[in-house]
Amino acid sequence: MRNIRYYKMIDNKQKIPVGSQLAGCIKKAGIFQLLIIMFVPVLMSACRNNRKPGLPDKELFAQQKVDAFQQAKQETDFSDMETHVVPPGIKYTESRAVDPANPPVVFDIASGNKNIKKFDLSDYYTNVRYIRLKHPNPTAEGNFLIDARYTMIGENGGSGSGSFNSTFNFMNDSIVAGDVFFGFHSYDYEGNFLHTVNAYNFPKVYDVSRNFISFNQSDFRKAMEELNNSSNRNNNQWRVNDETVASYVYNRIDTSSNEFLLTFSLQGDTLCRFINYNPKYDPNKKRLPISWSPPARMYYNEGTLTVQQSMNDTVYRMTTPSRLVPAYVVNYGAHKLDIDLADDFSDKLFPDKWCETDRYVLFTYNLNRDTPNSREKGLVTFFYAYYEKQSRQFYHFCEGTTIPEQEFFIDNTVPNALPFMLSHANIQEKSLWVVYSKKRVDNVIKNKDFASLPSEQQNKLKTLQGDLAGNEVLIMILQ
């Protein structure tokens, strides 16, 4: 369970953290966990920022685990918690007391008073590097799936659909890129193809013109069962230190559960349990519980596990197996969501992206529930904000807009850089990287605000549009 960090040298000067999010999930996760990974919104670790064991690439990819958890919403006030008696068998009593020397930073979004300040990536990054990867399969037979749509035909004849992106995992000696549809493939840091790591041959149909894939759930399940080595492996584990792991166990509608987080020794002894103080769903009420919600967040900041329970407004650092230190609090005020399915969400604030680096926290949220229908009608207002660690100031860089993050350009005046959209980005403590496919480039050029971009970026993107093959991607790394 060690979480050692490795780095790959970029241009002999810059470094990017390496590790993997989805690596090795097929061989190490059970079929049930894998289906969660594929078809339930995955707990995103601060825009895919968690790092896993430092091993040689082959072993790391084989042993990497994905932490997928149920999503839910949040409500906890750490300053007003009831006393809880620790049951027998639990070694430590939990503590969530504020550190007087480092009180939590409050993001006040309830008042509506916005401190407006421009956000430009060039204030945090100065260098850019590009790596081009070509998929080993012909475009029509397999590809990197970027912003792809998929449909799964269920065993009862029904179908489920969603969107899907291949993963790009920066390892110690290589980049492992791909997915369970068309395999994972290894490349060196110059973009040269090395070998195929894993390939999966269950039947599926890929329509390259629509960037759409369909498959049968039972075929998928059989293929995964054949590859599965351990159906009972616990993938819900996060390293706290060299001797301790944590498991996130919160279920927003399970009234029998009274905790949201547990810590264990490597020998399996329960060290501490952190009580759930979120309001519980009342099955006697007429209202139904919400079936969707903003995700929980678990990621590492400077090596420290950082936790935000779903439906909770506080972000904690886990400094010991029994200690959660409040680091940030988001004040939603009267606009906060609750567990009941409401008739009207027009006055509710929904948290969205949360990306923490060594210099800033990038935070987005929206007023009203974000659905295709509400977007089309202009009923959702999106807010883009950031916290500057050095000045300890919380800013907004827009007062509110109907432009979602998939279309919203964030200033990126780093020399020789491409346009930046947050929905395409992976932001880590020291670096930021974005994957561009030909279809993604086409969509950026079709954006109604494309003409407002610097002419250099427009020309660079148009050149890339004609130069990038259908089975290639370009990775932009900012440092």
pLDDT-derived band at 228, boundaries 50, 70, 90: low
The 3-state DSSP class for residue 442 equals helix
Rounded average pLDDT over 303-325: 95
End-to-end Cα, the chain, rounded Å = 28
Q: Is residue 364, in this structure, part of any structural domain at all?
A: yes
The residue ranking higher by pLDDT, 50 or 471, is: 471
Q: In this model, does residue 388 exceed pLDDT 50?
A: yes
- pLDDT tens digits for range 82-126: 445 556 778 999 999 999 999 999 999 998 889 999 999 999 999
Rounded average pLDDT over 437-444: 93
Q: Which secondary-structure segment (H or E) carries 226? A: helix 217-227
> Which residue pairs from 112-116 have beta carbons closer than 8 angstroms and sit at least 24 positions apart in sequence?
114/383, 114/385, 114/396, 114/399, 115/393, 115/394, 115/395, 115/396, 116/395, 116/396, 116/397, 116/398, 116/399
**Single pTM value for the model:** 0.79
CB atoms within 10 A of CB 284: 5
Mean pLDDT of the chain: 80
Q: Is residue 319, in this structure, part of any structural domain at all?
A: yes
Highest mean pLDDT among 30-34, 250-254, 311-315: 311-315
Q: Is residue 2, in this structure, part of any structural domain at all?
A: no
Q: Is residue 349, in this structure, part of any structural domain at all?
A: yes
What is the model's pLDDT at position 112? 84
pLDDT-derived band at 326, boundaries 50, 70, 90: very high
Lowest mean pLDDT: which of 3-7, 271-275, 281-285, 367-371?
3-7
Q: Is residue 193, in this structure, part of any structural domain at all?
A: yes
What is the model's pLDDT at position 227? 61
Q: Is 403 exposed, middle or buried (0-12, 13-18, 19+ CB in 10 A)?
A: middle
Contact 136, 195 (CB under 8 A): no
Contacts of 109 (CB under 8 A, 6+ apart): 330, 331, 332, 335, 349, 365, 383, 385
What is the model's pLDDT at position 86? 58
- The total of structural domains in the chain comes to 1
Residue-range definition of the domain harbouring residue 71: 7-478
Rounded average pLDDT over 370-376: 91
Q: In this model, does residue 68 exceed pLDDT 60?
A: no
Q: Is residue 167, in this structure, part of any structural domain at all?
A: yes
Rounded average pLDDT over 67-86: 35
Q: Is residue 348, in this structure, part of any structural domain at all?
A: yes
Q: Is residue 73, in this structure, part of any structural domain at all?
A: yes
Rounded average pLDDT over 189-207: 92
Determine what percent of the chain is predicted with pLDDT higher than 90.
Answer: 56
pLDDT-derived band at 352, boundaries 50, 70, 90: very high
Q: State the Rg of the chain over Cα.
A: 22
What is the model's pLDDT at position 55? 43
Q: In this model, does residue 166 exceed pLDDT 60?
A: yes
Contact 348, 420 (CB under 8 A): no
